[in-house]
Amino acid sequence: MGKDSSPPPDFVRLFTDGACKDNPGPGGWAFILEHPATGERRRETGAERHTTNNRMELMGVIEGLASLKRPCQVELVTDSQYVAKGIAQWMANWKRLGWNRKENGQLKPVMNVDLWQRLDALIASHRVRVTHVLGHRGHPENEECDRMAVQAYKDLIRNPG
């Protein structure tokens, strides 16, 4: 994409984050989905009573990708090295090893395999490029997703119904 060209109509940016009060404990996820061609933005959050930070990081991505109605070019922006490296470096090998990872020469099950498998199926429908940003360093959408994810689990704690 050149400087003067407009973004393709199938291009979206997906900003995601997850947060946990304790690890494990109550947690929240959030995403902001931006469609640069139209300027439209969608924000969503969710929360779970007993989870981990890594699971919430994955849920933000899963829910964001699941919200897409057709195949897209997706720039996924995350502050989670677990998510970024998992998608870009580790997942292909985990799949090759039957969703296992090597640890000290032995095969061990991949943590959060249920979510990684859901994410893998969603990624297969899109062209996803991962951009890792440093968390809590002033990236506007990352900071907003963090606030949204924290608010989601705080709301869950306040309203236990």
What is the rounded distance in angstroms from the CA atom of residue 78 to the CA atom of residue 32?
A: 11
Q: Tell me which of 18, 28, 46, 64 is the catalytic residue.
A: 18
Q: Can 144 be counted among the known catalytic residues?
A: no
Q: How far is CA 24 from the centre of its chain?
A: 18
Q: Can 75 be counted among the known catalytic residues?
A: no
Q: Can 120 be counted among the known catalytic residues?
A: no
CB 78 within 8 A of CB 84: yes
Q: Tell me which of 17, 34, 63, 75 is the catalytic residue.
A: 17
Q: Tell me which of 34, 57, 63, 141 is the catalytic residue.
A: 57
Residues ≥6 apart with Cβ < 8 Å to 91: 116, 119, 120
Candidates 26, 78, 43; CA nearest to 57 is 78
Q: Tell me which of 34, 48, 75, 79 is the catalytic residue.
A: 79
Which pair of tokens denotes residue 30?
A: 């959030």
Q: Tell me which of 39, 105, 136, 161 is the catalytic residue.
A: 136
Q: Can 4 be counted among the known catalytic residues?
A: no
Q: Can 22 be counted among the known catalytic residues?
A: no
Distances (CA, A) of 120 to 126, 127, 140, 143, 160: 10, 12, 27, 26, 32
- The catalytic site residues sit at 17-18, 57, 79, 136, 146
